């Protein structure tokens, strides 16, 4: 979706790969691998250490062990279920089929067991980062739409709602008790403020706003 040059997305910054594992040798090995691949690494020995960190603005993913001293990997996955920009890759030495099925059903990108092949893990990380980037870009685009919609007056929002329903200017005027000329003026302002190149694009914008409860 092209919503104009004012859109600024920070997802071009260096991706962050987080590792939560209570084994220091595993953390250090993964940190070296991640940095060698050109990504920024953040390592944690406890789930709650990770939860105390602010959300990342960059594309990111999480490499997570199942067995941790404070929370289990599955418990942590449940707690961050509202963070789609943070895909989870399970990497564990204690996995089994039922656990892997539970993790994948809960949204994990991958479930890998130790020992692992480095290239397979790097490929999984790259795929997760691409997913994270797409989520961040989508969210940034929506924030721009929200800002544009917030700039509309209440009357312009009324006109926009009727325009996207496909109503003609004359009918909109009758519905709102204003002249057709006034409708045209409001309609023009709506198109400019929303930066919509066509009615079809305005309809698309309206649908995306409505999907998140913004109209």
Report the phi/psi class of residue 38: left, alpha or beta, with left for phi > 0 and alpha for psi in -120 to 50: left
Would you state the pLDDT for residue 28? 97
Element (H, E) at 20: strand 16-20
Q: Where are the domains of the chain?
A: 10-141, 151-211
Task: State how beta strands 40-44 and 110-113 pair.
Answer: unpaired
Higher pLDDT, 8 or 181: 181
Instruction: Given CATH 1.25.40.10, say whether it is the number of domain 151-211.
Output: no
The yes-or-no verdict on residue 4 having pLDDT over 90 is no
Q: Is the CB of residue 160 less than 8 Å from the CB of residue 96?
A: no
Instruction: Encode pLDDT of 73-123 as tens digits.
Output: 999 999 999 999 999 999 998 778 899 999 999 999 999 998 899 999 999
For residues 18-26, give the mean pLDDT: 96
CATH superfamily assigned to domain 10-141: Response regulator (3.40.50.2300)
């Amino acid at each position: 979706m092209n919503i104009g040059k004012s859109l600024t997305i920070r997802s071009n910054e260096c991706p962050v790969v987080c590792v939560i594992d209570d084994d220091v040798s595993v953390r250090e090995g993964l940190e070296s691998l991640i940095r060698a691949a050109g990504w920024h690494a953040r390592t944690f020995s406890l789930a709650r250490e990770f939860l105390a960190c602010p959300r990342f603005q960059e594309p990111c993913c999480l490499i997570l062990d199942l067995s941790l001293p404070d929370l289990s990997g599955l418990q942590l996955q449940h707690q961050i279920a509202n963070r789609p920009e943070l895909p989870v890759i399970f990497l564990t030495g204690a996995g089994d089929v039922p656990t892997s099925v539970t993790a994948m059903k809960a949204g994990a990108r991958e479930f890998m067991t130790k020992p692992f092949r480095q290239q397979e893990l790097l490929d999984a990380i790259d795929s997760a980062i691409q997913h994270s980037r797409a989520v961040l870009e989508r969210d940034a685009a929506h924030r721009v739409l929200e800002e544009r919609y917030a700039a509309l007056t209440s009357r312009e929002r009324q006109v926009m709602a009727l325009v996207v329903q496909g109503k003609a200017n004359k009918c909109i005027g009758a519905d709102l008790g204003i002249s057709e000329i006034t409708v045209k003026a409001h309609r023009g302002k709506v198109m400019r403020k929303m930066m919509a190149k066509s009615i079809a694009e305005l309809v698309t914008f309206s649908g995306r706003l409505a999907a998140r409860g913004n109209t």
